[in-house]
Amino acid sequence: MGVGGEHALYGSETLGKVIKHTLPGFYGRIMDETKLLDPRTFQNKTRLMMRAALPSEYLRRWAVMTDVFGMRTHYLGKVTGSDHEPQMAVEQPFIPEDENLPATLEDAEAFFAAHGFERVDDTHIINPDVHGVTWYRQRDGILITDAHARNFRRDLDGVIIPVDLVIALVPPGASAVLPGATKLWEPAEED
């Protein structure tokens, strides 16, 4: 199917699923806080910045996607690519969409607003490629970025579905940039 910034994609509508392998030796990205020197004031200033994710952070992102947004993502295991570097594999359902009516950035904005998220001010974010597409929900400390239209699908019923968001958890009191979380997200109990 193709290669993106974090994954090689396999699958099809015929198979009814999409399998994603992380790029060799890479487990996606995550947003975290870092301190940078402000050259105007010579003071350290805390900002949000993308970095390479740990395997555990990569897997937690899919657990949150499944629990909060209903996107069933299953961990298939570790695979080894042709270059012998480890990769992680996950599987999601294939979502058929009308190619003439793809999800838009406005759809993503409405989606996040409906789920209680607020956009993070770009002045807090170092990486310009995620300006305007970073969201935070204070009640459970969920920080989401890379929420570009390409990471959503509009299914044939018109429902907007996130398929590949970069998700981090911000424990209460852990952020110098974001409002303190009321509590930290916990997975819903399964029946």
What is the distance between the alpha carbons of residues 47 and 111, in angstroms, rounded to a whole number? 25
* 3-state SS assignment for residue 138: coil
Residue 119 CB burial class (10 angstroms; 0-12, 13-18, ≥19): middle
| Identity of residue 41 | T
What is the distance between the alpha carbons of residues 119 and 25, in angstroms, rounded to a whole number? 31
From the list 32, 70, 74, the residue with the least C-alpha distance to 166 is 32
pTM: 0.91
pLDDT at 190: 65
Residue 70: both structure tokens together = 């209903």
Tens of pLDDT along the chain (191 residues) come to 678 888 888 887 788 899 999 998 889 999 999 988 777 777 888 999 999 999 999 999 999 999 999 999 999 998 887 778 889 999 999 999 988 999 999 999 999 999 999 999 999 999 999 999 999 999 999 999 999 999 999 999 999 999 999 999 999 999 999 999 999 998 877 65
User: Domain coordinates of the chain in residue numbers?
Assistant: 2-169
* 3-state SS assignment for residue 60: helix
Cα torsion 182, 62, 15, 160: sign = positive
What is the distance between the alpha carbons of residues 70 and 13, in angstroms, rounded to a whole number? 19
What is the distance between the alpha carbons of residues 165 and 182, in angstroms, rounded to a whole number? 22
pLDDT at 54: 94
